[in-house]
Structures are given as C-alpha cells and as structure tokens.
Structure 1
C-alpha cells in the first residue's frame, strides 16, 4: 500500500517508541535502525514520515572507489537525481564511521529536490555545510574523509541492511528524537491504525498516573482498568 496523505498524517502523530511496540505485537522485533540518530538541527525535535528510497554501499575496493567514480552512471549523484519529492533516503553504509557518505553539496541538492530526510547507519562530512542546507539527517556521526575512503557505492532502490534492519524501497520510515523505524510497506495501514490507538491509550494511562494511580493494573491494564478506559473512549466518541 502506498503512503496516503491520511496514513502519513496518522504516522506523523505517533512516536517511534510507540511504533516499535506496535510492530513487536505484530511479530516484528527488528525495525529500529541502529546508529541513525538525529544529527542536524533540522532533525532534532521533529518527526518525519516518508517512503524509503534506498542506497547501498559495500566495502571499498580500490579500482572502483575513486574520485572518477563520482561521475559514473551508478553514483550517489545519479541516485539523488532519481529521488522523488517526499522520499526518505535510507543509506546502508555498513556502519562505517571513518568515511562520510554525503556532504554539503549532495545534501543541498536533496533539499532542493524536496527529499524529506536522510537516514543512515554511517556518518556524514562537511557537517557545518550540511546544517546550512536544512536537510534533516539521522546518522551515526561525522568524519572528514569522503565515502570512497572506505566504501563503494553500488546502487539504489535495492533491498538494504541499514543499521541491521532489512529495508526495501517503498517501506515507510518514521524518524524522530528516538531514531528511525522501518515499517514494511504492506503493513503500514494496520500499523498506523494500531499505533494511533496505542497513543490514545497511553495518553489516558499517563493522565491516570499523574492523578496518582499505581502502575500495577494500570500499565499494563487489568480488566477493571480496561473497562474504565473503554468507557472513557465511548464517552469521547
């Protein structure tokens, strides 16, 4: 299922913490992209939702990872030109931390193309310039060397293993202060519905806790508490 405006709006109101719990209940434990944390100011204190546009790096090989490769048909530059508006670029950099996959110029082009964000398990370079582009970036950190110092770019919109998570093109990414979560595209509607309900339930539980309710029987709910919650929801409906 594509990410409809209604689904996008619903997921924009849901935390990644809630999504990991909902996905766990639906049998998916491995959905949080390790190492991808808010790096730029545009990523802090915000939440982005979009379909994954995947990029894949493999270990550096000297005959392929050269400055001349930046002009190849298969290059990060060409991949950026294929990114649709609103997509979230998900770059599998194998967790490499001593070669920055993108810098300020590439991020500027992504921002101009209205790419929603970049999520990677690797690192960035030219951080001050990247900040200036306004592109929200979730990454492991920064490093001065270029990508070819440690990685070879090999393609886009292929299945990747970003931060130990299998991500396919078109999967839905939600990223916020707690990191980035991948939702399989065929599960988006069910996950969004369950997550919205989970957020509503936890907001009620939080209010009960503020009033002094003890946690046993409240979180998780016992039958009596669940009945009170159901009555509250019915009253609002």
Structure 2
C-alpha cells in the first residue's frame, strides 16, 4: 500500500461542495464531458447521516480462492482490510471495488465504527454491507448496493489498496472527491473539484432564483434553463440584496 503523492485541495473546496446538491454537480460534470459520474445502485444505509464529501481512499477486491484464502483471514496473512481501516485519515472516503458482487459483505459494523472513530467521511461499496440494522442508526455515512449477512472472507480477497478502481462502473482514482446524499454518490475527478465547487454553488444560487419563478406559476420557456433575461434579473436581485447600485444608478 503506497499512498499517492497528491497536492492538497485548495482551501474551502470541500466546504463549498457541501453546499451543492449531487444533481447540480452531475450537471457541472456533464458540461465538462463526464456523462455518468454516479455510482448506480449504491444507496445510503444510514438513516441518520445526511451525506458526506471526502477524498477517495480505495480498496480493490477480487474473488477469494481456497488455496490462498483460509477460513481465518488473519492466519491467511491477508490483512489489507484491517490495514486500510487503520490507515484512514480524517475526511477520507473508503471506496471499495467489490466488482458489483454482494454475495458476501464488504464489511460490517465493527469496521464501519472504526472508520467513523478515525474521522473518515464515509464508506462506499458497490457490494454489500453487514449489520444493516446497526448501520441504519449509526451517525456515519455508509453506502452499499445491498445488506448482506455473509462475511467478507467467504467471497472476497482484498487485492490492493490506494490504486485506481472501478466502483459501480465508475472509475475512481485515489484522491478523487466523492460526494453523497440521500440520492446517491458521485465521483468528481480531483483536478476538477475546485472549479466544480465554485461554479456549482453559483448554479445553485441561480436555480434557487429560477425556482421562485416556477413556483409562482411561470412557464419553463426562458426560465429553465434560464435565458439571458432571467440571468439579468438574477444579477439585479443580487445587487439589490447587497445594496450595490444597478446600471446607470448613482451611489447615494
């Protein structure tokens, strides 16, 4: 396991992303040519954690094989899973490539609790998680495709950590930014995180303005997507809100 050498994200990027919906981020990524950034089929397990934003720490599973993986993972010598949870840093998201197989769990409440107590942002897998009744009430974001009772060692071998993986059909590189809410999880390429955060927040503000018009009974045409006239109205509303003089006005 070798952690990638990554430049820190600019200050405030993750905090800004927490103010932006996954739908808005998906739109921002679509504008940049990323058509499917969502981990399809991956759903929130916790009923009390609203969502997360964090940087990817990846784990790759392959099918277990009987001559390599014994009944007791400790005695088999494959301790990557425990190493991963002990290496998680505050704000990181453990993203597990379970090759979309939920016949055995990717982990259970003990491991999820350890991630929570280490300050991790979330655990995400395209496979299953155990102890769903516990995870549902844990104030820590967990995402999976299924609740699976069977233990991980019955099906999965942990092959590698902090390497590029595929999770639910989406490429995830160590250090990519993931964002999750009640609708699901998206992957933001790390180098785009700052501009997606900034422009996503601006989109949120503009669409909040547009929403008031749609709720007032106005038509979609010209309003959504917003045309030039609506954008001008929005900019005027911002100037009015902060007291700045509009075009042609003299400051008092």
TM over 0.5: yes
Say whether residues 1:217 and 2:237 are aligned partners. Answer: no
Structure 1 residue aligned with 2:3: none
Structure 2 residue aligned with 1:233: 238
Query: Following TM superposition, by how much is the alpha carbon of 1:26 offset from its aligned partner in structure 2, in angstroms?
Result: 1.1
Check whether the contact 1:18–1:199 (CA below 8 A) recurs between aligned residues: yes
Larger radius of gyration: 2
Say whether residues 1:23 and 2:29 are aligned partners. Answer: yes
3-state SS in 1 of match to 2:12: helix
Say whether residues 1:91 and 2:96 are aligned partners. Answer: yes
Check whether the contact 2:46–2:137 (CA below 8 A) recurs between aligned residues: no
3-state SS in 1 of match to 2:48: helix
Per the alignment, do residues 66 and 133 of structure 1 end up closer, same or farther by CA in structure 2, a change over 3 Å counting? Answer: farther
Specify which of 192, 213, 220 is matched with residue 197 of structure 2. 192
Check whether the contact 1:16–1:174 (CA below 8 A) recurs between aligned residues: yes
Check whether the contact 1:57–1:91 (CA below 8 A) recurs between aligned residues: yes
Tell me the C-alpha RMSD between the 2 structures.
1.8
Alignment of 1:1-237 (within 5 A): 2-43=8-49, 46-70=50-74, 72=77, 74-131=79-136, 133-237=138-242
Query: Following TM superposition, by how much is the alpha carbon of 1:178 offset from its aligned partner in structure 2, in angstroms?
Result: 1.0
Gaps of 5+ in 1: none
1:134 and 1:70 map into 2 onto residues whose CA distance is: 29
- The TM-score with structure 1 as length reference comes to 0.92
Name whichever of 62-71 and 99-108 sits farther off: 62-71
1:77 and 1:129 map into 2 onto residues whose CA distance is: 20
Runs of 4+ with >4 A deviation = none
2:203 and 2:74 map into 1 onto residues whose CA distance is: 46
Name whichever of 179-188 and 70-79 sits farther off: 70-79
Name whichever of 173-182 and 59-68 sits farther off: 59-68
3-state SS in 2 of match to 1:41: coil
Per the alignment, do residues 132 and 201 of structure 1 end up closer, same or farther by CA in structure 2, a change over 3 Å counting? Answer: closer
3-state SS in 2 of match to 1:88: strand
1:36 and 1:8 map into 2 onto residues whose CA distance is: 22
1:42 and 1:87 map into 2 onto residues whose CA distance is: 20
Query: Following TM superposition, by how much is the alpha carbon of 1:137 offset from its aligned partner in structure 2, in angstroms?
Result: 0.4
Per the alignment, do residues 70 and 96 of structure 1 end up closer, same or farther by CA in structure 2, a change over 3 Å counting? Answer: farther
- The TM-score with structure 2 as length reference comes to 0.87
Per the alignment, do residues 230 and 151 of structure 1 end up closer, same or farther by CA in structure 2, a change over 3 Å counting? Answer: same
Per the alignment, do residues 128 and 169 of structure 1 end up closer, same or farther by CA in structure 2, a change over 3 Å counting? Answer: same
